[in-house]
């Protein structure tokens, strides 16, 4: 198929813009922005073409470049384009494209310096994420996963001359790296177990694992473990990388700090790249996780807990981006919950809608921040509604979607996640617990979302800048409008409750993910979940749970309205007393991780002493012994030719005598 010949270009175009911005950016009119916009625009067009081709029933699964031939380990670069990948490609390239345009307003118009570096980082970030999405095997995915991590470090620390950004960048890098260690071990484990790490096809590790569990072990080496146990270990190791990148408890601490980066970068990180990478990875190898009920339950529980836990912290934050950061953690918790309870389609759906409305919210927040001259404190805002209507209405659309209010995008997807959790949870108390936490989080989400909207846009201006905000240009408004529209309508592609009620065939995303390559379709995952993992769905009308969650969301929003509406709202958070301190301090998660880091430093210091003393001592010893013996050997060369002749003859005689004795010549 012709379309797929251009698949590599999707990732290569932003890479080209990275190279251009890096080397030629400073000579270009917009310092590399135009190259980035063109490249991501090209990627978007190609991605849509891929999606249309996939919609026509075609898929693509090819090796492109082989590092090591399949005899020992199959290390190669390849491309897998199926419905899931095509959907993700469109999401990532669309968000990246809009973020590039928005950056014109946020960075260029604000007169930032170092723009070529910024656009180079943005291009490489997009390229890495697109490469990650296109990857047809875990090895390649790991390479791009690490590149994504590197780019996040570059961009979060973009303003490296201040104190906080470099430190936040380091934290993001180190915390995600901690998860990636597990991922790396998991990848190696997959290789030694299956000798391959491809996702799809009859020779993929997913299929091999399925066959091994069916009793046909073949060449699969489980090191003496029961296959189920061993695969669960591998699944949990890979999950380590996912928990780090997707900012799930307990490795979520890097994400709020990452707000130190430029706001468009935050939008990119939270909506399409980096954080999405973790969830996408689980979805990508869902055929593997669907075999492992224990791991699924852990994923569901982590997800549900993270959703609630992060939502509570978002309640008390003062800064607009901090609220959004905790909401991201919470929303990715929902996705993990969806995946864990067997709602593969629901989680993918939420990944998509969240990408749109979260990108929208961040860009909206960016617009507010431009207007507020880079003051992010919501208590200094207020009343911006009338002064920046485009931002207000789009931001409101995003907020309604985030809070899960009917009929905005987030309602449909979050509701489907919760519905899946409930129907499976009725047969499994652990999943039911995860559901309960997810449901409770809806209340908090409604509350913090509307607290944020009310404090930012409603009431009387609480500072001089809020009275006279800085205007924003088309390049800010255009992305907001596009995303705002999507935040309203994106949910309509998969209205499960409506379909159930009316019997209409409108579950388009279900249809979309059902076809594709054999073994990596939602249909097959459903069979695996039922037959191997033993998931049973209870019969339940989707209407009642939908009404419950909508009611909770409205209750949260109503509570926020009753507390924070009016001209000059009070600071009610003080009434929480010591709970406020606890929430403001993020449950002391950072403190214990600092303590952990200190302990690690102590171990590192001991290792350093060992290295300096023992290892270097041995190395230095060897080299001085070598040099000393070298200088002795040098003395054999006296410069006197008679000595040479004598030594030469003696050497020959010695050889003759020894070999004569050995060979018995005499």
Partner 1 sequence: MAPLPDWTAAAPAILLGLTAIALLIIDSISPRSKNRNLLAGTTLVGTLAALAAAVGLLVTGTGTNGGVAIYGGQIVVDGMSLFFTIIFTSVAALVTLASYDYLAGENEQAEYYALVMLATTGMAMMASAGSLALVFVSFELLSLPSYALVAFLKDNRGSVEASLKYLLVGALSSAILLYGISLVYGVTGGLSFETIAANIQNSGLTGMLGIGVLMVLGGFAFKTASVPFHFWAPEAYEGAPGPISAFLSSASKAAGFVVAFRVFTVAFGLDIVSSVDWVLAFQVLAIVTMTLGNFAAATQDNVKRMLAYSSVGQAGYVLIGLAALGGGQDALVLGMSMTHLLVYGFMNTGAFLFIALAEHWDIGRTFADYNGLGSQAPIACAAMSVFMLSLAGIPLGGGFLSKYFLFGAAVGAGFWWLAAIAIVNSVLSLYYYLRVVRAMWFEESNGDRTIEGYPLGLYTAVIAAAVVTVLLIPAFNFVADPAVDAAAALF
- Hey, how many other C-beta atoms are within 10 angstroms of the C-beta on 125? 27
Strands 75-81 and 60-68: antiparallel
Least Å distance, CB 23 to partner 1, is 21
Least Å distance, CB 634 to partner 1, is 5
What SS3 class is residue 471? coil
Least Å distance, CB 532 to partner 1, is 45
* Sole residue written with tokens 């409770």: 440
Pick the closer one to partner 1 by CB: 543 or 661.
661
- Binding mask of the shown chain, residues 546 to 575, with x at each position contacting partner 1 by CB under 8 A: ------------------------------
Rounded-to-integer distance, Cα 346 and Cα 348, Å:
6
Least Å distance, CB 71 to partner 1, is 17
Residue 161 binds partner 1, judged by CB under 8 A: no
The tokens describing 614, both together, are 């023992």
The tokens describing 237, both together, are 């190791």
Least Å distance, CB 622 to partner 1, is 9
Rounded-to-integer distance, Cα 22 and Cα 118, Å:
9
Pick the closer one to partner 1 by CB: 223 or 665.
665
Pick the closer one to partner 1 by CB: 543 or 654.
654
For residues 625, 626, 627, 632, the Cα torsion angle rounded to the nearest 10 degrees is 90
Least Å distance, CB 68 to partner 1, is 16
Rounded-to-integer distance, Cα 551 and Cα 558, Å:
10
Residue of 379, 474, 610, 644 that binds partner 1 (CB under 8 A)? 644
Pick the closer one to partner 1 by CB: 72 or 662.
662
Least Å distance, CB 142 to partner 1, is 24
Positions in 578-637 near partner 1 (CB under 8 A):
623, 626-627, 629-631, 633-634, 636-637
**Rounded (10°) angle between helices 389-403 and 474-489:** 30
Residue 660 binds partner 1, judged by CB under 8 A: yes
Pick the closer one to partner 1 by CB: 558 or 617.
617
Residue 645 binds partner 1, judged by CB under 8 A: yes
The tokens describing 25, both together, are 């950016």
Scanning 176-184, 328-336, 411-419, 657-665 for contacts with partner 1 by CB under 8 A, the matching segment is: 657-665
Contacts of 329 (CB under 8 A, 6+ apart): 247, 248, 252, 255, 256, 306, 310
Angle at 319 between CA 317 and CA 320, to 5 degrees: 105
The tokens describing 392, both together, are 């207000």
Rounded-to-integer distance, Cα 254 and Cα 252, Å:
6
Scanning 140-148, 356-364, 514-522, 658-666 for contacts with partner 1 by CB under 8 A, the matching segment is: 658-666
Least Å distance, CB 188 to partner 1, is 24
Rounded-to-integer distance, Cα 408 and Cα 405, Å:
6
Least Å distance, CB 650 to partner 1, is 8
Least Å distance, CB 640 to partner 1, is 9
Helices (H), 404-536: 409-425, 429-457, 464-467, 474-489, 496-502, 508-514, 522-531
Pick the closer one to partner 1 by CB: 66 or 600.
66
Residue 474 binds partner 1, judged by CB under 8 A: no
For residues 573, 576, 577, 582, the Cα torsion angle rounded to the nearest 10 degrees is -90
Residue of 534, 613, 617, 651 that binds partner 1 (CB under 8 A)? 651
Rounded-to-integer distance, Cα 364 and Cα 392, Å:
8
Residue 68 binds partner 1, judged by CB under 8 A: no
Pick the closer one to partner 1 by CB: 536 or 649.
649
Least Å distance, CB 644 to partner 1, is 4
DSSP state of 222: -
Least Å distance, CB 618 to partner 1, is 14
The tokens describing 497, both together, are 């409750």
Pick the closer one to partner 1 by CB: 468 or 629.
629
Pick the closer one to partner 1 by CB: 534 or 660.
660
* Sole residue written with tokens 């935040």: 487
Pick the closer one to partner 1 by CB: 164 or 648.
648
Residue of 111, 224, 503, 663 that binds partner 1 (CB under 8 A)? 663
Least Å distance, CB 628 to partner 1, is 9
Pick the closer one to partner 1 by CB: 615 or 656.
656
Scanning 80-88, 110-118, 290-298, 648-656 for contacts with partner 1 by CB under 8 A, the matching segment is: 648-656
Pick the closer one to partner 1 by CB: 72 or 633.
633
Pick the closer one to partner 1 by CB: 27 or 666.
666
Q: What is the residue-wise DSSP string for 59-109? A: -EEEEEEEEE-TTS--EEEEEEE-HHHHHHHHHHHHHHHHHHHHHIIIIIT
Burial (0-12, 13-18, 19+ Cβ within 10 Å), 511: middle
Burial (0-12, 13-18, 19+ Cβ within 10 Å), 65: exposed
- Hey, how many other C-beta atoms are within 10 angstroms of the C-beta on 174? 16
Least Å distance, CB 625 to partner 1, is 10
Residue 639 binds partner 1, judged by CB under 8 A: yes
Residue 71 binds partner 1, judged by CB under 8 A: no
Pick the closer one to partner 1 by CB: 577 or 639.
639
Least Å distance, CB 216 to partner 1, is 36
Residue 113 binds partner 1, judged by CB under 8 A: no
Pick the closer one to partner 1 by CB: 502 or 629.
629
Scanning 396-404, 438-446, 535-543, 639-647 for contacts with partner 1 by CB under 8 A, the matching segment is: 639-647
DSSP state of 539: P
Residue 56 binds partner 1, judged by CB under 8 A: no
Least Å distance, CB 661 to partner 1, is 11
Residue 641 binds partner 1, judged by CB under 8 A: yes
* Sole residue written with tokens 């991201």: 328
Give the total of residues touching partner 1 (CB under 8 A). 29
Pick the closer one to partner 1 by CB: 161 or 634.
634
Scanning 148-156, 359-367, 577-585, 641-649 for contacts with partner 1 by CB under 8 A, the matching segment is: 641-649
12-15: long-range contacts, CB 8 A cutoff, minimum separation 24: 12/127, 13/39, 13/40, 13/42, 13/43, 13/46, 13/127, 14/39, 14/40, 14/43, 14/96, 14/123, 14/124, 14/126, 14/127, 14/130, 15/123, 15/124, 15/127
Residues interacting with partner 1, by CB under 8 A? 623, 626-627, 629-631, 633-634, 636-637, 639, 641, 644-645, 647-652, 655-656, 659-660, 662-666
């Amino acid at each position: 198929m012709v379309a797929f010949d251009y698949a590599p270009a999707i990732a290569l175009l932003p890479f080209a813009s990275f190279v251009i911005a890096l080397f030629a950016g400073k000579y270009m009119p917009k310092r590399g922005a135009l190259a980035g916009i063109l490249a991501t625009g090209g990627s978007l067009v190609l991605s849509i073409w891929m999606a249309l081709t996939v919609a026509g029933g075609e898929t693509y699964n090819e090796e492109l470049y082989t590092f090591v031939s399949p005899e020992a380990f199959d290390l190669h670069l390849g491309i897998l384009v199926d419905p899931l990948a095509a959907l993700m490609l469109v999401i990532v390239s669309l968000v990246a494209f809009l973020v590039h345009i928005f950056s014109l307003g946020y960075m260029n118009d604000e007169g930032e310096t170092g723009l070529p570096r910024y656009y180079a980082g943005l291009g490489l970030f997009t390229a890495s994420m697109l490469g990650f999405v296109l990857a047809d095997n875990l090895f390649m995915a790991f390479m791009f996963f690490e590149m994504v991590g590197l780019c996040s470090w570059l961009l979060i620390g973009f303003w490296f001359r201040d104190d906080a950004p470099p430190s936040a960048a380091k934290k993001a890098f180190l915390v995600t790296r901690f998860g990636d260690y597990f991922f790396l071990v998991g990848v190696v484990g997959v290789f030694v177990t299956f000798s391959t790490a491809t996702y799809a096809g009859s020779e993929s590790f997913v299929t091999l694992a399925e066959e091994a569990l069916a009793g046909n072990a073949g060449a699969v080496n489980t090191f003496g473990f029961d296959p189920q146990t061993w695969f669960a270990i591998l699944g949990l190791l890979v999950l380590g990388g996912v928990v780090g990148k997707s900012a799930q408890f307990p490795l979520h601490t890097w994400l709020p700090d990452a707000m130190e980066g430029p706001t468009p970068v935050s939008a990119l990180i939270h909506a399409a790249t980096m954080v999405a990478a973790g969830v996408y990875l689980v979805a990508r190898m869902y055929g593997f996780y669907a075999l492992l009920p224990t791991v699924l339950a852990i994923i569901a529980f982590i997800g549900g807990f993270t959703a609630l836990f992060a939502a509570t912290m978002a309640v008390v934050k003062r800064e607009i981006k901090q609220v959004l950061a905790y909401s991201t953690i919470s929303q990715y918790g929902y996705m993990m919950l969806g995946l864990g309870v067997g709602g593969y389609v629901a989680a993918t759906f939420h990944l998509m809608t969240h990408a749109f409305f979260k990108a929208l919210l961040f860009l909206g927040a960016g617009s507010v921040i431009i207007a507020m001259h880079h003051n992010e404190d919501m208590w200094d805002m207020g009343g911006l509604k009338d002064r920046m209507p485009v931002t207000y209405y789009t931001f409101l659309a995003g907020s309604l979607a985030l809070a899960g209010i009917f009929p905005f995008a987030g309602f449909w997807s979050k509701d489907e996640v919760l519905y899946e959790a409930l129907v499976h949870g009725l047969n499994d108390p652990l999943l039911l617990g995860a559901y309960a936490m997810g449901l409770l989080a809806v209340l908090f989400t409604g509350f913090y979302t509307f607290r944020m909207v009310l404090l930012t846009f409603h009431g009387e201006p609480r500072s001089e800048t809020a009275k006279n905000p800085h205007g924003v240009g088309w390049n800010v408004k255009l992305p907001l409008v596009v995303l705002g529209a999507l935040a309203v309508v994106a949910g309509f592609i998969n209205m499960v409750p409506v379909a159930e009620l009316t019997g209409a065939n409108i579950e388009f995303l279900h249809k979309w993910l059902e076809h594709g390559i054999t073994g990596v379709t939602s249909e097959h995952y459903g069979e695996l979940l039922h037959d191997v993992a033993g998931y049973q769905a209870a019969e339940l009308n989707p209407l009642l749970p939908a009404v419950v969650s909508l009611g909770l969301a409205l209750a949260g929003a109503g509570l926020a309205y009753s507390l924070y509406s009016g001209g000059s709202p009070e600071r009610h958070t003080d009434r929480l007393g010591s709970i406020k301190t606890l929430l403001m301090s993020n449950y002391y998660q950072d403190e214990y991780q600092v303590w952990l880091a200190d302990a690690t430093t102590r171990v590192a210091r001991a290792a350093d002493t060992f290295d300096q003393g023992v290892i270097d001592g041995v190395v230095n010893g060897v080299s001085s012994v070598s040099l000393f013996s070298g200088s002795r050997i040098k003395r054999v060369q006296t410069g006197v030719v008679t000595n040479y002749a004598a030594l030469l003859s003696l050497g020959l005689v010695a050889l003759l005598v020894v070999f004569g004795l050995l060979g018995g010549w005499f």
